[in-house]
Structure 1
Amino acid sequence: MALAEERVLSIQSHVVFGYVGGKAAVFPLQCLGYDVDVVNTVNFSNHSGYGRSGGSKTTAEELKTIFQAMERNELLRPTRLLTGYIPGAEALSAVEKLASKLKHAKPSLIYLLDPVMGDAGRIYVAPDVIPVYKEMLPLATIITPNWFEVELLTDIKLNDIESLHQALEILHMKYHVPNVVISSIPLEPWLAEALPPSIRPTKHSDSYEPHLLCIASSFPTASATLNGRVLHPSQPIVHAQCVPLIPGYFSGVGDLFSALLLAHFHPDTTPETLHASPLSTAVSQALSKTHAILVMTQAVAEALPEEERLPSDDELDVEDPMRKIRRMRGRELALVRGQDLIRGHGITHVREMISWEGFGGSK
């Protein structure tokens, strides 16, 4: 829960039906005690995975008008800022100017920047947003890019442990991002082999059990301490954890994860667990709750009538668009049903982020 009265300004997409963007983020934040002010960067009927949708994008001028009116009315009062899907460079630049103004007025503002650009090698926003995101990185307290977005931001192809070191170094040192969290990373063999043995999945023959990896990297200030120990400011503190892969297509998972991470991040508190950090503690909670919601969503989907859980088939989906729509509809995140999980009730196992000892030393 929020430790004190706090207010989040959420700037991201909106859908009428389903749970992606703000619909996946605002309710969990409210469940955890935060007041949330919502600005929609798009207003769509549903997410694009359905194959067809309707609605409009919010223009840069419309965003500026909203921000200016809020400022005139003294309604820009966030203690935390969350930004997600913003489809174009002009709109993103308007958000960047607002974020800069808010950080200047309140340096303690916690800003979680989710640089939503694409996934699995495919970019789904205008490419001209990439340089704008690079300009925004120094404003962020935490960023939550996926694997592909890290490559876009750093111009580093992640294909071995050395390239991962280089990418994190660029984000921390060149762009001065103090906290980087990369979730839902496909666990390639080279990455699995480099992990601490305590979290490495079981290996069968030449392959590991299907898992996704989450990495959290914090770069401490020169005066930072952890459990009474002065931290060396020349290398990041890295934590990692694996979660079993749940098969099937889900939307809004990253939006939910980022909201939960922002909600649980309390930089001024001392972690109860040895070798934990404020970031790793927040990621542990976000990872555990997100996975629990996905398990519940999968159970709900598997209990649906057969016509609502037919497997993907591009040809059949083109012939009968409702076939795909029924499948997507049945896999929307079970947020309302899982609201107790969001509040922490019924979470029987917290997936603690484990200190990745030797990560920096292996460079």
Structure 2
Amino acid sequence: MSWLAMTTVGMPPGSVVLPTFTFNGPLVTVDDHHQFGLELGRTFKSTINERFAAKKSDIEYLQFLARRTPDLYQAFLDLHESVYPEYVAELRGMSDGSGEPFETIFLQNIVLEFSDCASDQSEPPIIGLSCTDFMMCPPAPAACAVAHNEDNDVTDLNRTAFVTARMGNGGPTWNAYTYLGELPSGAFAFNDAGFGFTLNWVGPSQPQCPGLGRGFLSRAILGATSIEAAIKIVTDPRGGAGHNYQLLWFGDESPRIVNVEAAPFGVHAVRPISAPFFHANSYLTLQIPQEFDNSTLHREARAAQLLPSIAAATPAEAPDALLAAIGDQKDVPYPIFHDDVSHQKGDLSDWTIASAIFDLRTRTLRVYAGNPSTREGRVLANLTLPFARR
């Protein structure tokens, strides 16, 4: 299908190229899902092993928590096998294909939820303060687009891939930017039903123990055929923690963006996007107890300075204005974009693994390595977003 064709644009010799993986069979039975995970694990065995080795301290801490709270670990596993057995099968397949123990794979896919629940007050949980989105979607002819920074730990750099698979029973084909060793997608994705999404960490203070992992919920919405269907999934009252979702519709001539803030127990807020808007790692609409750090406060303050220039941009200028915003590094200790340049200057936060812009009016997704607002930014993938299948 031509809309899945990936091109590299302006890539010099030796540059990073984003790997791809396509599962040829439809995902119908649990065995199909296991085979998908098996092939994904085999294909990227060395990268998964390298990524998990680099995360050794976190993984050993999770294993310690699991040994100390075996009943809690089993409760998490039982819940996920009950609600999403096909996705647990994918993780078992990844384990078989990569050689990593299933417990290690499973814990990595519920890392924040499990550590939130299993840590005591003297042991801070593993947190994932990461990711940034600028977005806008006024009525036509104004631009309708989301620019996203996928931020994470340095151990995740160059350990991702674009993963493609086809749902069974007439479901959509999806394309997901994926952390290798994890379910697609904890980052951003789209499908040929005309639906896509980006994600941001948020930190509700009170988790549900056990509760569904965010990675399982974002895996589930890969098959969504509407924003409304996705909202129903991500606001599941069994959710263990919280997440922020930018839900995108480009299946017809009336694109939409909806910002969803989800918290445990099904608490949520829905904000349709029109004027330029920013979201990172704190709840802005939901008024609940939460945790966040200085990086979030600094990025929110800088975003408030940048949003007027995005609002003033013409429809033709707006995508570049969004890219300039996610590439901003004016705040030295806590910039919006994180790279070697920012860390050499004193960046105290994480790393930008990739940047992406979904332009819903031109029906394109561009994925960047390097700062997308400078000449250092290189297009890793240039994809056409499909209309919904008829």
State the TM-score, normalizing by the size of structure 2. Answer: 0.30
Question: Which of structures 1 and 2 has the larger relative contact order (alpha carbons within 8 angstroms, sep 6+)?
Answer: 2
Structure in which a larger fraction of residues adopt helix:
1
